[in-house]
Chains A and B, each alone.
Chain A
Amino acid sequence: MANNKKEFNYKLYGIFAVVIVAAALIALTLYAYTSRYTALSPEKTAQLYVDTIVQNGDGYNAYKNSLLSYDKKFGDFIRENYIYPEIYENYKPGESTKGLKGLNDKSLKGENTLNDDGTLQGKVTDKMYPEFVRLITENKGFDNYDLIFKSYISELKKVRKEIFGDDYFDDEAFFKAFEANLLKYGESLTGCEDEFDKNTGVQLKKAVTGSYQTAFGKDYEIKSEAVSSEDAEIPDISEYGIDAEIAEAKTVKVNLTVSGNSVSEDARPLTNGIEITVVRIGHSWYVANKSCDTSALYNIGK
């Protein structure tokens, strides 16, 4: 007997459900990706570069969007070009460190290094801070990164030896000290609040008034905005030591404004605008940092 009732078609519904959800997921993922990933836009790439520097005086992390980080992590760029040559004799950037013996050999660790719970490392960090500030101030920022890293590491080796009493040196010694100094430098601009441990109530950090706060008031806000973008001459990529083909280059002008209680107008221009050269390799944009002058960003609030 023929069944006239319409049966629910499970297979058709199953396919419909998978297709509809897959389409929604692809659309939402693409939206999230394009709105968050800055390297797809020359304006966002340039604006992020400037913003990273101006908010915390952090030219170091800004390089993570530059050609220095095109084919490797920025940390590896520093290791290969500045740290490994100090650890291994006759090391050339790009070489493997496998099998090489150098200052990071465990046998060089003295008692102090083996037993340090962080106290001695803290002393090294504190002692390196004036050197960090000197390098940033004298070089007007991070544009001259080559000199900054070389000088800092050279001094760090001496200070570390003095405090730990051995010749041991590794990449961690650099990153711990340098990044802690960078953080403190940032707080000298932005200020920071008292910080207490939530369980014991012990004070972990004392409040500092930053130079930005002194200049613009406690509730200041610095905003960066890419205002124009023009085609630019393709820069010489050979000086970056990378093997890639640049598809196009642009000069993006980024304006900065500040607002806050102590600022007379609502949004006062901070600079005449910073010009950032960006280049496209494949689908991604990178800052051609050697074609940029960011020194004006380190004078803000001073």
Chain B
Amino acid sequence: MENEKKKFMKKSEIFTFGIGLFGVALLTGWMPDYTQTFFADFAFKGKGFDSAAISSSISTVFLAAGIIGAVIELITGFLIDNTRTKLGKVKPWIGFGSIPMAIIAMLIFVAPNTNNQTLAIIWMYIVYSLYTAIGCAVERPAECFGALCSPEPSERSSAISIASFMKSVGQSGGMVVVMAVGLIMKSIMGQQQFKNAEAQGLDLIISTAVCALGFIIFVMIFFVNNKERVPFTREKVSLKDAVKVVFTNKNLLMVSLTKLTGFGRGVYGTVSLYIAIYLLGSKDLKLALLLPMGIGTAVGTLLVNFVLKKFSTKQTFIIFCVYGATSLAILYFVATGIGFRSALIIPFLILNFFCGIQHGNTNVTPNIMIADCVDEIEWKTGKRQEGTAYAGYGLFAKIASAFTKALGPWLLYTWSGYLVSTDANVAYAAQSDATLNKFLMIYTIIPAIFVIFQGLPILFYDMVGEKKERITKELMERRAAAENAEPEGAIQTGEEV
């Protein structure tokens, strides 16, 4: 058929790319929250340390690790773009970085047996910063691989969307692991002995080992089976080039800016516990609240792939933004219409599923757009810079995340007029209707506004349609010409295409 596009990837490669990202997400999704819990509650239990000092240290440990992560993010991107080996450009980072990453992740959960509080705090800084640094040097290349898996954009888009789905599933995999580990421990040890072991954080330690083992197995399956199919360019990328490309390529900047303009989308997470308590009647419903949204996100991630077959990345992104804002607004109006009573629970949870679908877009489409931007940058400059492009996007994501973490608590504790219980016997004080309504707004309307803001930069994105096809075609011609000019294969992917 005339329109039949050439396939570069083996069918199994599309699947094993997803397996690889699933493995990476299994560990990276598990680590931050459970590290925090382990440091706070278990690492130095019974040592008599000042809990307030340990708590404040944990905050600064994570702040420091965040800053280190942002710096390492850019450095890794720059180094990836200057990596030219027979194994490829990003694969060596993934293949050789995953061994230390798995072991350091495990070391976090093997706290030193010390009675010296200062030593304990120093250990937390060192071990978690080390994990963050090595994590960036593996996670970022793994994401970059999407831009290198095929020179054909449609094939690449399919691979990225399937891998993104697997990644989003992998991010929640740790929750399943800790549940399964708990059940197995209970059946072996008995109820109370399991409780005693749990009190020492042993279920977390074993779960980390399981996640780290899953990580190395899945990443190695990917490493063995997948090949980089896009030849790398020979020009050296300077640090100046790397930083410049993040801020001067219009399309890449617009994709990255979606993170900043949409930073308030995530504030719903801050209020979800209070929504469960005050609007749905029980804090146990927090999981029930987030589960439909999580399922919606997974469904949305698959749905994006179908939408992308009919619409461009730009149109898909905007469609999902409009859908997302609308679904959140509907949730707000339905909730205020029914009122905060038990009759609200079922409609609220159902609508929560539909609100989750929009997140599939933010998991998939920007990654495809960045891969397209990498093509555009190569077309314009002759330099292929996957590393820098994904690192730049990651940097914007980290800044946006910091804004979200600042805005969420301010909205919840200050803007909403939240009253804290002053009675030791009352966990959560009664709130006024105005406060409850503001809780609902933090969960729905405010994220909806930011979902719209998130779509605004994409209005200026133009790596679509005829331009994208022309660039793809010209790049393929250039690569073919370069290959013919250097038949010995001194450049390229390090592996046959």
* Interface residues in chain A, defined as those with a beta carbon under 8 Å from any beta carbon in chain B: 8, 10-11, 13-15, 17-18, 20-22, 24-26, 28-29, 31-33, 35-39, 51, 64-65, 69-74, 76, 117-119, 121-122, 125, 180, 197, 199-200, 202-205, 221, 284
A25 touches B106 (CB 8 A): yes
Binary contact readout B71-94 vs A (1 if CB under 8 angstroms, 0 otherwise): 000000000000000110000000
**A118-B423 Cα distance, complex, nearest whole Å:** 8
Which residues of chain B come closer than 8 Å to A22, judged between CB atoms? 213, 216
Binary contact readout B404-447 vs A (1 if CB under 8 angstroms, 0 otherwise): 00000000010000111011111100100000000000000000
B190 touches A70 (CB 8 A): yes
Contact of B191 among A8, A29, A72, A121 (CB under 8 A): A72
B103 touches A21 (CB 8 A): yes
B192 touches A73 (CB 8 A): yes
**A28-B104 Cα distance, complex, nearest whole Å:** 11
* A-B residue pairs in contact (CB < 8 Å), sample of 18: A8-B87, A17-B99, A17-B216, A18-B220, A21-B102, A25-B106, A28-B103, A32-B110, A33-B202, A37-B197, A70-B190, A72-B190, A72-B192, A118-B423, A118-B425, A125-B425, A202-B420, A284-B193
Interface size on B, residues (CB 8 A): 47
A32 touches B109 (CB 8 A): yes
Q: Of the 9-residue stretches B117-125, B204-212, B278-286, B350-358, which lies at the interface with chain A?
A: B204-212
B209 touches A38 (CB 8 A): no
Decide yes or no whether B224 CB sits under 8 A from chain A.
Answer: yes
**A26-B197 Cα distance, complex, nearest whole Å:** 17
Contact of B200 among A11, A37, A64 (CB under 8 A): A37
Count of chain A to chain B residue pairs whose CB atoms are closer than 8 Å in the complex: 124
Which residues of chain A come closer than 8 Å to B102, judged between CB atoms? 21, 24-25
Given A21-B99, A200-B420, 19 further pairs, Cβ under 8 A: A17-B98, A21-B102, A22-B213, A25-B106, A28-B103, A32-B109, A32-B202, A36-B200, A37-B196, A37-B197, A64-B192, A64-B195, A64-B196, A69-B192, A70-B192, A76-B191, A197-B422, A199-B418, A204-B422
B216 touches A205 (CB 8 A): no
Are A10 and B224 also in contact (CB < 8 A) when A21-B102, A32-B109, A122-B423 are? yes
Which residues of chain A come closer than 8 Å to B201, judged between CB atoms? 36
**A221-B47 Cα distance, complex, nearest whole Å:** 11
Q: Which partner residue on chain B sits nearest A74 by CB separation?
A: B192
Considering residues A21, A39, A71, which has the most beta carbons from chain B within 10 angstroms of its beta carbon? A21
Are A36 and B220 also in contact (CB < 8 A) when A21-B213, A28-B106, A199-B413 are? no
B202 touches A37 (CB 8 A): yes
Which residues of chain B come closer than 8 Å to A119, judged between CB atoms? 423, 425-426
Which residues between 98 and 114 of chain B lie within 8 Å of chain A, taking CB atoms? 98-99, 102-103, 106-107, 109-110, 113
**A21-B212 Cα distance, complex, nearest whole Å:** 8
**A65-B197 Cα distance, complex, nearest whole Å:** 11
Decide yes or no whether B487 CB sits under 8 A from chain A.
Answer: no
Decide yes or no whether B217 CB sits under 8 A from chain A.
Answer: yes
Rounded to whole Å, the gap between the CB of B229 and the closest CB of chain A is 16
B205 touches A29 (CB 8 A): yes
Q: Which partner residue on chain B sits nearest A123 by CB separation?
A: B425
Which residues of chain A come closer than 8 Å to B190, judged between CB atoms? 70-72
Contact of A197 among B87, B206, B216, B420 (CB under 8 A): B420
Q: Which partner residue on chain B sits nearest A122 by CB separation?
A: B425
Q: Which partner residue on chain A sits nearest B409 by CB separation?
A: A199
* Interface residues in chain B, defined as those with a beta carbon under 8 Å from any beta carbon in chain A: 46, 48, 86-87, 95, 98-99, 102-103, 106-107, 109-110, 113, 189-193, 195-197, 200-202, 205-206, 209, 212-213, 216-217, 220-221, 223-224, 413, 418-420, 422-427, 430
Rounded to whole Å, the gap between the CB of B228 and the closest CB of chain A is 13
B106 touches A35 (CB 8 A): no
Rounded to whole Å, the gap between the CB of B190 and the closest CB of chain A is 6
B224 touches A11 (CB 8 A): yes
Rounded to whole Å, the gap between the CB of B65 and the closest CB of chain A is 21
Chief secondary structure at chain A's binding surface: helix
- The 7 A-B pairs of least Cβ separation, nearest first, read A122-B425, A69-B192, A118-B426, A14-B220, A21-B216, A73-B191, A36-B200
B110 touches A31 (CB 8 A): yes
Rounded to whole Å, the gap between the CB of A37 and the closest CB of chain B is 6
Considering residues B192, B195, B427, which has the most beta carbons from chain A within 10 angstroms of its beta carbon? B192
Which residues of chain A come closer than 8 Å to B430, judged between CB atoms? 117
Which residues of chain B come closer than 8 Å to A21, judged between CB atoms? 98-99, 102-103, 212-213, 216
Rounded to whole Å, the gap between the CB of A217 and the closest CB of chain B is 15
**A73-B191 Cα distance, complex, nearest whole Å:** 5
Are A17 and B423 also in contact (CB < 8 A) when A36-B200, A37-B202, A117-B430 are? no
**A122-B209 Cα distance, complex, nearest whole Å:** 43
**A25-B424 Cα distance, complex, nearest whole Å:** 43
Which residues of chain A come closer than 8 Å to B209, judged between CB atoms? 25-26, 28-29
Q: Which partner residue on chain B sits nearest A200 by CB separation?
A: B420
Which residues of chain A come closer than 8 Å to B192, judged between CB atoms? 64, 69-70, 72-74
B95 touches A25 (CB 8 A): no
Which residues of chain A come closer than 8 Å to B46, judged between CB atoms? 51
Which residues of chain A come closer than 8 Å to B95, judged between CB atoms? 13, 17
A35 touches B113 (CB 8 A): yes
Rounded to whole Å, the gap between the CB of B345 and the closest CB of chain A is 19
Which residues of chain A come closer than 8 Å to B202, judged between CB atoms? 32-33, 36-37
Which residues of chain B come closer than 8 Å to A17, judged between CB atoms? 95, 98-99, 216, 220, 223
Which residues of chain A come closer than 8 Å to B223, judged between CB atoms? 10, 13-14, 17
A14 touches B420 (CB 8 A): no
Are A199 and B425 also in contact (CB < 8 A) when A18-B216, A28-B209 are? no
Which residues of chain B come closer than 8 Å to A197, judged between CB atoms? 420, 422
**A29-B211 Cα distance, complex, nearest whole Å:** 12
Are A199 and B213 also in contact (CB < 8 A) when A20-B99, A29-B206, A39-B196 are? no
Which residues of chain A come closer than 8 Å to B413, judged between CB atoms? 199
Q: Which partner residue on chain B sits nearest A13 by CB separation?
A: B95
Which residues of chain A come closer than 8 Å to B422, judged between CB atoms? 197, 200, 202-204
